[in-house]
Structure 1
Amino acid sequence: MKITLRGKNIEITEAIEEKVGEKLSKLDKYFIVSENVEAKVLVRTYPYGQKIEVTIPTEYVLLRAEVVDQDLYNAIDLVIDKLEGQIRKYKTRLNRKSKDNKLAFNLASIEPLDDEEEDVLVKTKTITPKPMDMEEAIMQMELIGHSFFVYRDTETDAISIVYRRNDGDYGLIETE
């Protein structure tokens, strides 16, 4: 697995690099072709602790986990545990579907979750995205008290989704 490691408000030392590399290498066994997999790791320092974000895009699934902890090395351990949990959950769901699923993982090396509950869809909504610009969409989202809002961008005529990020800022998802 290739690793891209960046730091914000923190210098990435050799010790941090080694720890991240050692822990992420444990995930190699889960991927069919681990050389084609790239993990993007971002380490940040905040007054309340250290944050590590790991994103591993594969052809069929996106793995992403983040952890905040006072101890960076503990945060690294915890984020790897989260990623392994996501992989096991994905395998369990694939086994339940028992269809010809597209795979990004070496399923033989993944222990399925025994105690995972079935996900249940509790509500379905049909919407017609209204034309507006991003600023208006943010205002609409705030007015209705949601964490995201779907709209048709007046400039591109594409469906877009504006959302509130964990850091309090806004994000934008644009469709093609």
Structure 2
Amino acid sequence: MLDYQVRGLNFEVTDAIQQYVEKRLSRFERYLNDDGSYVARVKVSALKGKRFKAEVTIQLPYLVLRAEDTEDDLYQAIDFVTAKLERQARKYKTRVNRKSREQGYKGLPVFDIDEELMTDTEESEPEIVRKKTVSLKPMDPQEAVLQMELLEHDFFIFINAETDAPAVVYKRRDGKYALLDADD
């Protein structure tokens, strides 16, 4: 079962918008196992220039589906986000099935996607073209950001001296920095 949490930023979510979101995302209920309750967190925003942004996150036990889109029409943004989420679900299901066939792996039974929904053009596995080993050094996050900038990278992995756990700093799209700490 899928519960919906729809909230608006810079405008009020009407009943019509709420119903449209629920109608569009309800197609994911047929993919979910009946053994749990899942939450679809939806944030719709009114931006400058009469543009709208729709963001949807669905947290599953072994997978997070997340997509966002910005369009001139709110309903179109919701449609595009739903299509992106569906592609993610299909891609995940394809990978789980492929692993199951190749390795005898008992995949994570998150989705029950009908085979007819699968497209003939299965997306290929991402190709890893380079492997690199790094030695992690203890440092504070500010020093890690400095190292990242000196190396002109988009992210930097290190041992957080404050927590003694692996961590990553990265540069966000808005130009600010973010820290990902590992949870024990």
TM-score over 0.5 (shorter chain): yes
Contact 1:8 1:44 in 2 (8 A): yes
Contact 1:92 1:113 in 2 (8 A): no
User: Paired residue for 2:169?
Assistant: 162
Q: Spell out, residue by residue over 1:135-170, the C-alpha distance to the aligned partner (whole angstroms, 9 max, x if none).
A: 121222222222211111111111111122233332
List alignment gaps of at least 5 residues for structure 2: none
- The 3-state SS of whatever aligns with 1:107 is coil
User: Higher mean Cα deviation, 27-36 or 60-69?
Assistant: 27-36
Contact 1:8 1:43 in 2 (8 A): yes
User: Paired residue for 1:104?
Assistant: 110
User: Paired residue for 2:27?
Assistant: 26
User: Paired residue for 1:7?
Assistant: 8
Find the aligned partners of 1:18 and 1:139 in 2 and give their Cα distance: 47
User: Paired residue for 2:77?
Assistant: 75
Alpha-carbon distance, 1:34 to partner: 7.5
Alpha-carbon distance, 1:91 to partner: 1.3
> Sequence identity, in percent?
43
Contact 1:60 1:103 in 2 (8 A): no
Summarize the Cα distance change of 1:140–1:101 in structure 2 as closer, same or farther, 3 Å threshold. same
Q: CA RMSD in A?
A: 1.8
Q: Spell out, residue by residue over 1:35-73, the C-alpha distance to the aligned partner (whole angstroms, 9 max, x if none).
A: 511111112222252111111111111111111111111
Contact 1:30 1:109 in 2 (8 A): no
**What one-letter code is carried by the residue in structure 2 that aligns with 1:36?**
S
Find the aligned partners of 1:34 and 1:66 in 2 and give their Cα distance: 27
> In the alignment, is residue 123 of structure 1 matched against residue 130 of structure 2?
yes
Contact 2:97 2:107 in 1 (8 A): no
Summarize the Cα distance change of 1:127–1:96 in structure 2 as closer, same or farther, 3 Å threshold. same
Contact 2:3 2:38 in 1 (8 A): yes
Contact 1:51 1:72 in 2 (8 A): yes
- The 3-state SS of whatever aligns with 2:180 is strand
Contact 2:96 2:108 in 1 (8 A): no
For this pair of structures, how many residues does the alignment match? 176
List alignment gaps of at least 5 residues for structure 1: none
